[in-house]
Chain A
Amino acid sequence: MQYLDNYLQSKGGYDYTNVKRNELMKAQGFKEMPFTKTGTTIVGVIFEGGVVMAADTRATAGSIVADKNCEKLHPLAPNIWAAGAGTAADLHHQCAHFNAKLKLQRLNLNRQSRVNEVITKLTTKLFPYRGHIGVALIIGGIDSNGPQLASVSPHGNYVYHPFQSMGSGSLAALGILEAKFQDGLTKQQAIDLAIEAIEAGIFHDMGSGSNVDVVAITKEGVDYRRNIRQYNAKSHQKQIPYHFPANNTPALRKYEFNFEKQELREIGKEMEIIE
């Protein structure tokens, strides 16, 4: 059956040798690094004449909050924004990449970008990576086909629906959206609904928290409100402030660097660690 081997090899298709390599590495004891994921609650809502998207602002690395006020709403084009959940680095780089790609396309074709273009480009990029690029996006914009809202999953699946939510807090937000969404909302009603949905995620999902960001896209333009709502101020102000007087930290060794002579020399004796 050698000819079959050669045939299939030349045909191409997916190469899974890296999977074997990863398994071997894991067996040898390489620990997978924890990515900064964004936990997250993001929502999108279509209203009469546009689309509004909202997100919380907490980024987590495991169970620690890595960023208390990160930005999850990314512009892809003047008329298209993306809200992202998943691995923070992937989101940032993928959105920047597609922003640039779309801009280049607009310069070449002299036409406004469309949401379905973004979806196609995104899904054709994500699918071959089998979900390893951890981006779960809600893409919203207004183009020649009217207001559009779609969500894209890390494996490359997409769904168009008048309201969407993604992220660890998506179920909390979806409860609010399913109960309160109607067709023909006004811009302000849609913003209020989106904020309420994110609030549900912030208070009932521990992967989401801090503040709410909102962006509303209409034919007139983009209305981006960073931190439109801020809850959860730090609960305790210390009555007696911490006092760290100068020269109170024991040094094990002290060095002096002379810039003119460009030399480093040790001054002072080694001090013991004081407990």
Chain B
Amino acid sequence: MYIPVNDMLKHFKQDAPAMANITHKSDQWSPYHDNSGTVLAVGIPGAVIVAGDTRLSNGYNILSRDATKLSQLTDKCVLATAGQYADFIALRKFLQQRLQLYEFQNEVQASTETVAHLLSRELYSRRFFPYYTFNLLAGLDENNHGVVYGYDAIGSYDQMTYGVQGSGQELVVAVLDNQLKGYNKINKTIPQTREEILDIILDCFSCAAERDIHTGDNVEILIITAAGTERIVKPLRKD
């Protein structure tokens, strides 16, 4: 019997509405890219230690094995950022320029607390098109004690003794909770010396590199003290 082709097609379309009307939401352009990676910062009396891996990625591709996530803003404080690298660069540029202006006008470098507040206001100024950055601001306070401020993407911040941001955050933060704060321990033996803490930090990055595909290549560590800044670079897994 003769069945008009158009009628046939109509029936198939009715049977499979989902197949006929597939909308590819994933094709929509997004202004954000997650370049991933992990950063952490730990404050101890007299120093602050900031570390970040140096891998820059986009999806499954490696864009650079040697890209720093740390930026020294004043003699006493360092910005560590995970998230979108372009936004990190833009944020860093703004902060560097604004802090230079502060220094010219006030004849003294901004304190860490001031920088922390400035960063929060700058992030919130982009409340409706945020910087895709997850920041840690680490520095020495007025008494040269190490402090760490942790931020979300739109500028909510709080002071903490240590912070982790980035793709390896979940893997690392629980270890630091146990080792640096003594969570789930009755007798807490908290490491005090720089060497012990560096040992823990390197181990955390090494473990994060084992299980997080976005963390690896090298880990760059900055140690800020009243005497100056020291930089250490150690290799991590490259796969």
Contact = CB atoms under 8 A, between A and B. Distances in A.
A249 B184 contact: yes
A235 B207 CA distance: 9
Contacts of A235: 206, 209, 234-237
A203 B239 contact: yes
B232 interface: no
A8 interface: yes
Interface stretch (A97-105, A140-148, A215-223, A238-246): A238-246
Contacts, number: 103
B90 to A, nearest CB: 25
A4 B11 contact: yes
Main secondary structure of the interface of B (DSSP, over half): mixed
A5 B237 contact: no
Interface in B203-239: 203, 205-206, 209-214, 234-239
Contacts of B236: 235
A232 B210 CA distance: 9
A65 interface: yes
Interface in B32-84: 36, 57, 60-62
A65 B213 contact: yes
A250 B214 contact: no
Contacts of B108: none
A213 interface: no
Contacts of B184: 249-250
A1 interface: yes
B199 A239 contact: yes
A62 to B, nearest CB: 9
Interface string B3-44: 100010001000111110000000000000000100000000
A223 to B, nearest CB: 25
Contact of B239 (A16, A232, A249, A275): A232
Interface stretch (B129-137, B150-158, B185-193): B185-193
B107 interface: no
Nearest to A20: B18
Contact of A206 (B15, B57, B186, B202): B57
B183 interface: yes
Contacts of A248: 185-187
Given A168-B60, A204-B62, A16 B18 contact: yes
B142 interface: no
A234 B12 CA distance: 56
B19 A16 contact: yes
B185 A240 contact: no
A275 B183 CA distance: 6
B60 A209 contact: no
A205 B61 contact: yes
B98 to A, nearest CB: 34
A33 to B, nearest CB: 18
A236 B203 contact: yes
B24 to A, nearest CB: 15
A19 B7 contact: no
A65 B212 contact: yes
A87 interface: no
A77 B206 CA distance: 40
A211 B187 CA distance: 41
Contacts of B62: 204, 206
Given A19-B19, A207-B60, A202 B239 contact: yes
B213 A1 contact: no
A42 B221 CA distance: 36
A231 interface: yes
A23 interface: yes
Contacts of A20: 17-18
6 contacts: A1-B7, A16-B19, A20-B17, A205-B61, A232-B239, A238-B203
